[in-house]
Structure 1
Amino acid sequence: MPDANALVGKGGYPPSAFYFKVVFSATMGMSDTSFQEVSGITSELETETVTEGGENRYQLQLPKAVKHPLLELKRGIASATSPLVIWCRSVFEMDFAVPIVPMPIAVYLMDENQVPIRAWTFANAFPVKWEVEGFGSTKNEVAIEKIALSYTYSNRLI
C-alpha cells in the first residue's frame, strides 16, 4: 500500500481528476477505448423521517439503505468491434433474447507514474442508457457517446 503522502499528491495538493482509467471485465485486460468523463461515483444514505409522539421540537431521521445513482461514462464513439459496444448492443438490440450479463467495473484515479492512487469497484453493472450526443455542422468536436450503468453496490478500495 502506498504511503499517506503519495495518496495526497506532491506538495500536499489533492490529486488531479484528469488522469483516470476504466476497466471492464469484458475487455479481459485489453484496452477498449479512453473515456472523456466518468461521473456518478456517489453513495447516499436514504433515511426515513419518524415523528416521535409527544415530541414537537424535531423529527428523527432513521437510516434505511444506501442508494447509488447511475455510473455515467462519456467517450468518443467507438468502433463496432469494441467489447463495450458489443455488450451494449446485446442489452439494447437483442430484445432480451439473450440474458443481460452484468459485470464488475473498476475506475482508477492515476498519478503521473500510471500508479492508481484511488480506486472504486462497481458490482453487477449493466447498461441502462446508451446515448449519442447531438451532431452539429457548426461544431468541430468529437462525436460523443454516453453510457449509463446501473450497479448493485460500490466499494472504494484505496
Structure 2
Amino acid sequence: MGALENFKKIVDPSPALSHRFGVFFFAGGVIPNPIDFRFQKVSGLSADIQTDTVNEGGQNLFAHRLPGKVNYNNLVLERGYSTSFVPSPLTAEFNIAFSSFKFAPSNVLITLFNEIGGISVPAGAWMFFKAYPVKWSVSDLDGQSNTVLIDTMELAYTRFQTVGL
C-alpha cells in the first residue's frame, strides 16, 4: 500500500495554499527588482476569450460562437504602505508614470510557494509581460481606526501565461 499512497500524492497532491507567494519585477524584462516582492494580496489573475456570434442563413435554432480575442484583467497588488528609507523602485516607477507620463514596461513573475519539509519550493508561477502602471491608490486615513495603511497598485499588461516548473 505504501507505493500506491506515494503515487497518489504525486498524481493528486494536496491543493496549494494561497498565502505563500512572491511577486518579482524584472526591469527591462531581465533585471530583477530586489526590494519590491512582498505583497499582502494579488488579484486580477484571469483571462477570458471574447466570442463573436455568426448567424447562418436559414439556421434559426442556433448561432455559431467563434473565438475572438483574449481579454485580460488588470493585475492588482496590495501591500502595507512603506516608510522605509530604502527607496522602492516600484514606487519610483509609479511616480514617474503618474507625474511625467513616462512608462517603462517590465515583466512580472508571480510565484506560488509550497512548504516541503520546512523549505519553500515553487509550486506554480505566472508571467505577466510588458506590465505598466494604470492606477495607484492609498487606503483612507482614519483617525478612529488602527489598521495598516494599504498601498494598492494596478498594472495593465499585454498577456500572461502559466510558467511550467
| TM-score interval, normalised by the smaller of the two chains | 0.7 to 0.9
CA contact (8 A) 2:111 2:124 kept: yes
Rg: which structure is higher? Answer: 2
TM (norm. structure 2) is 0.83
Alpha-carbon distance in structure 1 between the residues aligned to 2:126 and 2:149: 27
* C-alpha spacing 1:13/1:47, structure 2 compared with 1 (3 Å): same
Aligned length: 150
Match of 2:108 among 94, 105, 109: 105
Q: Higher strand fraction: Structure 1 or Structure 2?
A: 2
Runs of at least 4 residues off by over 2 Å: 3-8, 26-29
| Aligned-residue RMSD, C-alpha | 2.1
CA contact (8 A) 2:22 2:37 kept: no
TM (norm. structure 1) is 0.86
Aligned sequence identity (%): 33
Structure 2 stretches lacking a partner, 5+ long: 1-6
Corresponding position of 1:65: 69
Alpha-carbon distance in structure 2 between the residues aligned to 1:136 and 1:34: 24
CA contact (8 A) 1:105 1:125 kept: yes
Of residues 45-54 and 118-127 in structure 1, the stretch that sits farther from structure 2 once superposed is 45-54
Corresponding position of 1:135: 141
CA contact (8 A) 1:71 1:149 kept: yes
Corresponding position of 2:23: 22
Alpha-carbon distance in structure 2 between the residues aligned to 1:90 and 1:6: 47
